[in-house]
């Protein structure tokens, strides 16, 4: 299901999950909407999807139409990409954007990170007294 998002509901939608995906389209752009719908259907178990058809809201969010925003509660908080008809490219972007840059590597996360097929940096912090310090240091290098 794809939610219809308005200026009044955007903040609530952003806060509904750790990661949400919002497509921004002109109301008459059926081709972009169809590509986004295909993406949403293929990844509906992973993220909530919403659609905005309001130019003023897109401008307020600094999104070029047609475009997609990935809102998240970690890292930089928001990523953008231009909508393309290539579902594989878009789903790969979402999988990467939807994962924190620094995370405790737990057994239940193993498959998610290995299947991304991107270069990962692994650092083993066996003592929790310094792990937060190291996490902050690594995140500062990303900024």
Indicate left, alpha or beta for 65 from its phi (over 0: left) and psi (-120 to 50: alpha). beta
26-40, 65-79, 100-114: least confident range: 100-114
Distance CA(134)–CA(143), nearest Å, equals 15
Integer Cα distance of 84 and 120 in angstroms = 26
Q: What is the mean pLDDT of the chain?
A: 82
Worst-scoring range by mean pLDDT, 5-9, 23-27, 117-121? 117-121
Q: Please give the pLDDT value at position 114.
A: 59
Task: Work out the average pLDDT over 27-48.
Answer: 93
Instruction: Read off the pLDDT of each residue in 113-135 and give the average, rounded to a whole number.
Output: 57
Instruction: Please tell me the pTM assigned to this model.
Output: 0.75
């Amino acid at each position: 299901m794809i939610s219809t998002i308005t200026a009044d509901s955007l903040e609530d939608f952003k806060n509904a999950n750790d990661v949400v995906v919002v497509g921004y389209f002109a109301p008459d752009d059926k081709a972009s909407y169809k590509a986004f719908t295909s993406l949403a259907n293929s990844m509906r178990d992973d993220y909530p999807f919403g659609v905005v058809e309001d130019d003023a809201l897109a401008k307020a969010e600094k999104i070029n139409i047609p475009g997609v925003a990935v809102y998240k509660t970690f890292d930089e908080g928001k990523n953008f990409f231009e909508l393309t008809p290539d579902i594989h490219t878009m789903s790969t972007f979402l999988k990467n954007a939807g994962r924190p840059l620094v995370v405790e590597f737990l057994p239940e996360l193993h498959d998610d990170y290995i299947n991304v097929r991107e270069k990962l940096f692994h650092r083993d912090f066996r003592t929790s007294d310094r792990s937060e310090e190291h996490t902050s240091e690594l995140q500062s290098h990303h900024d």
